Every structure is written in C-alpha cells, then in structure tokens.
Structure 1
Amino acid sequence: MNFKTILVHLDHSVRSPVRAAVAARWARAHGSHLTGLLPTGLSDGVIPADAIATGMTDYIAESADYLRRRSEAIAREFREAVAGTGPMSYEVRMVDGDTVDAVVRHGRVSDLVVLGQSDDSNKEDTIVRALAEHVLMDVGRPVMVVPSAGAFDEIPKGVVVAWDGSREAALAVQAALPALRRAARVTLVSLRHPHDKDNSQRLLASDMLQYLLRHGVQARAESQVTEIDIAQALLSRIADLGADLLVMGGYGHSRLRERVLDGVTRQVLAQMSVPVLMAH
C-alpha cells in the first residue's frame, strides 16, 4: 500500500495553509496526487456579520458572491503555495454542499485524508469544529489530523504507535505503513492502569514487531503501567521520545472499549502536539 492520493481539507481558518503545506510535503515524499478539497460554504457556512455591506437588498446573492470570492482566494493561495515547491500532481476541487458529507465522499476515493484540529478560528461552526471526529467515523480511510499550533516542516522521523491490540489499532498500523517505512524510529507504546488486567496475551507485541519487520519497518515495543490518564501518559511519552507523529486507532465498538477509547481519542484530539494518523 502507498498513499497514491492524499486529500486535504481547505477552508478559511488561519491554519489551513499550514495543513495544506503538511499534506503537500507528504504528497511529494510519497509520490502522491494531492487534492485540495474546498467546500465553499454555500450550503452550510456562516457569513461573518461584517462581510456584507449594510443596505444590500439581495442578501442571499451577496452572501453567495462573498463565499465564492473567498473560496477562489483560498484556492489561488493553495495553487501558488504548491506550485512554488516544484512540479507535483495536484488539483483543487471547489464543492458546494455540506462540509462533512463532501469530505467523506471525496475522502473515500483517497488513500489519506488530512484535516485540522478543532480550534477557535471555526468557533461559529460546530460541525466544522468536529470535522475530524465526524469524518473519521464515516470515511473508511485513514485520517491524519494536524495540530492547531506548531510547525511541521519535515516528514516524520520518530513515530509512536499506540498499540493496544484492538481492531482499530491494527487498522491504523496497516494504514500508516508508508509513513512507518520512512521513519528512523518507530516505537510501539502500550499503556495500562495498575488495576487493569495484564493484556500481554492480547497485545502480541513481539508478533506485531515481526509483522512490521516483514514490511520493512524496524520497531521496538514498550509496555508501561501508569497512574495518570492513558491519553496524558501517551502524550507525555511522545514528548519524551521526541516523536513527530502518533499513529493510533480511533474509537471502539463494544461498550467497554468505547468508554475507554472514546475518552482517549477525544483527549488526544483536544491536546495533541504532533500530527495524529488515525483509523477506525
């Protein structure tokens, strides 16, 4: 498997150019076609109160014109930024309609979907703010979420894989193989609380290391018992290892796993400091 097609969600937020740059860097490194998906907001966007001049008689037409011009400016900025880094296969798709639906539909014909972490620049739109969660659950493709702060100017060299032996974690590992092959350091991190049952039989960590080795990935595994929240412990370990990418499964299905995984997923998405590649 490789990332032959990478899709990145573009919008008017201040982090959209950063997200697009990360996606372009990955596309260039993996020889991918890059699609910039740009929902215009004509269906589900909110017009800023000061965007339309007072006294306009046809507010709907003026609003549509404003959104169209805003989208064209974003598309132009994306094209100029990508073209400025050298020859690469890319396109911009401007689409009307619901943002979540558009990202899911176009994401399903891609190998990797790049989204942004929720931040205050989209506080007027609760659906867009929760875009990563909605898309991850429905798209059927791996999703990489780029943090709302920080610069990520290099292809990840140090990767932490949150390994709990679950279906979602296995899917995430498989999806991340192209990135793992390019990494210099890959660490499988398994965490549990003191009162949790020893899950070494479920983890099969040594088997996963052999699986990765057969795919050209040299990795090591570590298992830790922690008193703090799993998400906090995971983020702390990422910082200790100097990792610049986290690979993890997102959400679960059984009620018990759902309570645990949902909490970890939401905490990581809220407090992430490095890009997170997830699968569900």
Structure 2
Amino acid sequence: MNIKTILVHLDHADRCSARVDLARAIARTQGAHLIGLLPSGLLEGTVPADALPTGMTDYIAESARYLQQRAQGIAEGFRARMGQISHEVRETDGTTIGSLVAHGRSSDLVVVGQEDRASESDVPVRGLVAQVMLDVGRPVLVVPYAGNFEQVGQDVLLAWDGSRAAAVAMREALPLLAHARRVTLASFRRTASSQEDALLIPDMTRWLQRHGVEATVEQHVTEIDTSDALLSRVSDLGADLVVMGGYGHSRLRERVLGGVTREVLAHMTVPVLIAH
C-alpha cells in the first residue's frame, strides 16, 4: 500500500516552501502525484491594505487582478521546485478550508501548515487544521511553523491510546512506516492500571509486524499532562514524525479540538500525521 496522491496547501506565507519541500520528498519516496492546491483568496478578502495603488476607480477589479498575479507567482514557484515529480497546480476561488476538504477527499494525504498566530500573513485562516482534519476523511500531515523538514518517517512515534482515531491514524501511516528506521509505539496514562487492558498493545504490535513494521513498545505512567509527556518523549527520542488520532466535539457544537490534540498541535516541534 502506497500513497499515490498528495495534496499540499499553497499560499504566499514564508512557510509554504517548507511545506512543499516535505510534500515533494514524500511524493518522491512513495511514487505519488503531488497536487498544489492554491486558493486565490478572492472569497476571503485577503488583499493587503497597501497592495493596491491609491485613487483607483474599480477596487474589486484591481483586487481580483492582484490576487490573480499573486497566485501565478505562487504556482510558478511551486512548479520550479518539483523537478521530475509528477505534479499539478489547482487554482480555486473557493474558501481555503472548503477547497482543502473538497479536493483532499480525492487524495491519500493532505499536507497543511501549523497555525501561527504570530504570523503577519494576510491570510489568517483560523482553525484550518481542525476543520480540515474533522471533515476531509483523509490523514492530514501538519508541518510546524518553525524548522526545516525535508523528510519524515525515519524515526516515528506512534501515540497509542486504544481509540478509534488512533487506530485510523496508524493504518493511514503504514506507507510511511514501511520506510522507517525506528518505530516507537508509546502509550501515556495517569495510573498503572487505567485502560491497560483496553490498549491491547500485544495485538497492535503483532498487527504492525504483519505489515512489516517492528515497533518498540513504551508504556508511560505520567503525572503531567499527556500532551506534555508526549512532546517530551518526542524530543528524547529525536523522533521526526508523530502519528496520533485527532479529536473534536460534535458538529452540533462549536468546533474545538480535544485537549491533547489541541496542545500537541499548538506546541509541536516535528510534523504530526493526524486522522479523525
């Protein structure tokens, strides 16, 4: 089982190139087709205040022209980085989140950037990771807003809590795990007895083995927050990828991520593959 179609979010932020480089590296390893999805920003009103000349007579037309020219520049930059990788650019005037969800459903992996609230980008798409993860029905690879990540999957930490979401994430990560040098299956709980039987760790390790993945098992009892313990272990291991389940509330309520998911995505230092 390989990843055959990868969708990467393109925008004009400085971190777009890091996102593209990582997506390209995975596409090369997997023999995948790489789609650069490029929302123009037309429906989101993302024209910087100083981008257009003063005294114009048709602000709407000038704004559309500016966004079109900006999109052309982003597309050219994407194509220039591809080399021999099979690729295409899909430009859309739809909203960023709606476009990522719609096009992501015909992909095997969706690559997006971690939200950076300190960014000066004029495209502040708040809640992008959460919305896409909850709606797209595909695994989402989140790239941190700091650091360089030209490849992932050499040293992987699987965050296992026995949940449906974690099981889905591990299944979706199999194509990446096949190329890993080290895989660690780690669980974190507050007491030695809580949920131990529900984790079925021997069953999970045998399942991984049948897929050719040998995992080292770690079971941690921790008094600190699970997210802090997980991120600390990532640092200790020198892991370059975290695989975990993602959680959110019902569609009938405000869309907010579960506590561990939210904290990991806020403070991650390596890419996170997440599924819901």
TM-score range, shorter chain: over 0.9
Which stretches in structure 2 are left out of the alignment for 5+ residues?
A: 251-256
Aligned pair partner of 2:275 in 266, 269, 279? 279
- 1:8-63 deviation per Cα after TM superposition (whole angstroms, max 9, x unaligned): 00001110011011000000010000000000111114211100011111000000
In structure 2, C-alpha distance between the alignment counterparts of 1:252 and 1:131, rounded to whole Å: 13
- Distance, in Å, in 2 between the alignment partners of 1:267 and 1:237 is 15
8 Å CA contact retained: 1:168, 1:252? no
Moved more, 142-151 or 116-125: 116-125
Q: Which residue pairs with 1:6 in the alignment?
A: 6
**Partners of 1:69 and 1:252 in 2: CA distance:** 37
Give the length in aligned residue pairs.
270
Residues in 2 aligned to 1:263 and 1:155: alpha-carbon distance in whole angstroms:
25
Asked if structure 2 preserves the Cα contact closer than 8 Å seen for 1:122 and 1:129, the reply is no
> What's 1:121 paired with?
119
Query: How far 1:122 sits from its partner (Å)?
Result: 5.8
> Which residue does the alignment assign to 1:22?
22
After TM superposition, give the deviation of residue 154 of structure 1 in Å. Answer: 2.8
Structure 2: distance between partners of 1:204 and 1:182: 25
Residue 216 (structure 2) aligned to one of 203, 208, 220: 220
Equivalent in the alignment of 1:134: 131
Which of 103, 107, 110 aligns to 2:100? It is: 103
Match of 1:166 in 2: 163
1:191 deviates by 0.3
Residues 123, 267 of structure 1: alpha-carbon distance in 2 compared, 3 angstrom cutoff: farther
**Offset, 1:129:** 3.2
What CA distance in whole angstroms lies between the structure 2 residues aligned with 1:29 and 1:13?
26
Task: Please give the TM-score of this superposition, normalised by the length of structure 2.
Answer: 0.94
Residue aligning to 1:46:
46
- Bigger share in helix: 1
**1:191 is aligned to 2:188:** yes
1:151 to 145, 148, 151: 148
- Whichever residue aligns with residue 75 of structure 1, its letter is A
Deviation at 1:82, TM superposition (A): 1.0
CA displacement at 1:197 relative to structure 2:
5.0
Aligned partner of residue 43 in structure 1, secondary structure: helix
For 1:262, the equivalent position in structure 2 comes to 258
| Preserved contact between residue 246 and residue 275 of structure 2 (Cα < 8 Å) | yes
Rounded Cα–Cα distance in structure 2 between residues aligned with 1:60 and 1:2: 44
Q: Could you list the runs of 5+ residues in structure 1 that have no partner in the other structure?
A: 255-260
Alpha-carbon deviations, 1:55-112, whole Å to 9, x = none?
11100000010001001000000000112xxx12100001111111100000000000
Aligned counterparts of 1:229 and 1:220: Cα–Cα separation in 2: 23
Aligned-residue sequence identity (percent) comes to 58
Tell me the residue number matched to 1:207.
203
SS of residue in 2 equivalent to 1:18: helix
Aligned CA-pair RMSD: 1.6
1:247 to 243, 259, 264: 243
Query: Do the aligned partners of 1:142 and 1:277 also contact (CA within 8 Å) in 2?
Result: yes
SS at match of 1:2: coil
TM-score (norm 1): 0.93
CA contact (8 A) 1:123 1:129 kept: no
